[in-house]
Chains A and B, each alone.
Chain A
């Protein structure tokens, strides 16, 4: 699961100095490039033109409710993990017009909100975040109704994934089987290797268009030693991951523990701030708001990220279904780790650890699951 997919494209070795050529090839292919960059003391995702804009030589220190960027001792381009933003913001924007209505003589007309989307490369997406995209694909374009906004953008995405060789403090992708190596879903996957003064990338195409791009980049044939050390680097990362969630029967376990006292405990700590849902790469709850311009001649329907931690999320006439923080935390965690299986055929969690890092009170989802499992209440409290 943590090895690159076996396929027909021959892996190549690209010298770190030649990474620029890969970016150029993407640019020449008509792709805008979104990649990790440093902004405001954190590693976020933004448009870049050259490899020089990548956070080379930086890493991030992550813990419960803790995030700092720090200098590394080497010049690794990808020596950090995931920041506060996930790639969902490009495909499922925090705020998008979904419909425009215009007044006419005796009524109104509707049209899809017009937008142009240009081909974009997700450069440096991590295996956990790549899995998150696959999960969002199932939610938003994988069933009967397909979200045209997501679909249009998704069709324009080229994926250059980067395997993780150094996990962060809150990572638990190994539990969720989403990393540290990318298994599928990429056009190109890179593994960064720094060893004895050598700084290289093992590059593997996953699709024909990925292969065509790689062909434009100077590279040499990857030796079996290079393949071995790339695989080892990923395996080493897996071994370094200390957080875990025991996913055995997790759906049944959580369903059976809806009345577990732990929910009450975590509710005392939870500020219901919605940070975890905003940083989560798979949370998809959204609200739709209506706006009219000053003249009343046009009305716009805008879809905006919402969170199950807000009271309004479950509001029906008269009140909110989930009025307590206990119920809202339970909803979030149980949905993510249990109900998601019933709804979309997989877990909704990819083990990226963002919800732990960005929780202002340091709640750790892995710890909550463990606590509920260890004190599993079989007889339901009345």
Chain B
């Protein structure tokens, strides 16, 4: 597991995180690979991981019986996938599928949640980082909803 530490340390999401916290997090980390087309998670499943994407491209989508799969966002290397593990009831709201060969580090949500509860300093540090991501997604979603290239804006 030690081998994952430098990889995590260099990922934009965890950049600058205190080494002692990194050590705690590494305990919950594992290397994962998804083939093109493979589902990473599906709507309604337990959200027991989040993913630090090292390589590849992932599509977050939902499904309409009439329209089929509808893409919401794509994620790629340097980004983080998933935050449902952080909020009850810890279930995925959307599907995530690898569009191409994707390598990521999976962080065990249950494991991490207990560590964040034990050490609130780590909890606060990680929450700040997730808040940034959530805010960024919210802004991006608002812009998407504005349909800025359409006729009405």
Contacts and interface: CB of A to CB of B under 8 A. Distances in A.
Q: Do chains A and B touch in the complex (CB under 8 A)?
A: yes
A318 B153 CA distance: 7
A301 B107 CA distance: 69
Interface of chain B, helix or strand or loop or mixed? loop
A268 to B, nearest CB: 28
Interface in A318-334: 318
A252 B152 CA distance: 34
4 contacts: A317-B151, A318-B151, A318-B152, A318-B153
Contacts of B152: 318
A318 B148 CA distance: 12
B149 to A, nearest CB: 11
A27 to B, nearest CB: 60
Interface of B: 151-153
Contacts, number: 4
- Chain A contact-residue range equals under 10
B116 to A, nearest CB: 36
Contacts of B153: 318
The 4 closest A-B pairs by CB, nearest first: A318-B151, A318-B152, A318-B153, A317-B151
B92 to A, nearest CB: 38
A47 B136 CA distance: 69
A103 to B, nearest CB: 34
Interface string A301-317: 00000000000000001
B108 to A, nearest CB: 44
Contacts of A317: 151
Contacts of A318: 151-153
Nearest to A317: B151
A318 B152 CA distance: 6
Contacts of B151: 317-318
A253 B63 CA distance: 56
Nearest to B150: A318
A318 B146 CA distance: 14
A317 B150 CA distance: 11
A338 to B, nearest CB: 29
Nearest to A318: B151
A318 B147 CA distance: 13
B84 to A, nearest CB: 34
Nearest to B152: A318
A113 to B, nearest CB: 36
Interface in A114-167: none
A165 to B, nearest CB: 57
A317 B152 CA distance: 9
A317 B153 CA distance: 10
A318 to B, nearest CB: 5
B36 to A, nearest CB: 40
Nearest to B151: A318
B105 to A, nearest CB: 42
Nearest to A319: B152
A318 B149 CA distance: 11
A372 to B, nearest CB: 31
A314 to B, nearest CB: 16
A317 B149 CA distance: 12
Interface in A148-197: none
A202 B153 CA distance: 62
B33 to A, nearest CB: 47
B146 to A, nearest CB: 13
B38 to A, nearest CB: 42
B26 to A, nearest CB: 44
B59 to A, nearest CB: 31
A146 B153 CA distance: 36
A379 B30 CA distance: 53
A70 to B, nearest CB: 55
A302 B153 CA distance: 31
A149 B52 CA distance: 68
A307 B152 CA distance: 25
B23 to A, nearest CB: 44
B40 to A, nearest CB: 40
A257 B35 CA distance: 59
A272 to B, nearest CB: 24
Nearest to B153: A318
A315 to B, nearest CB: 14
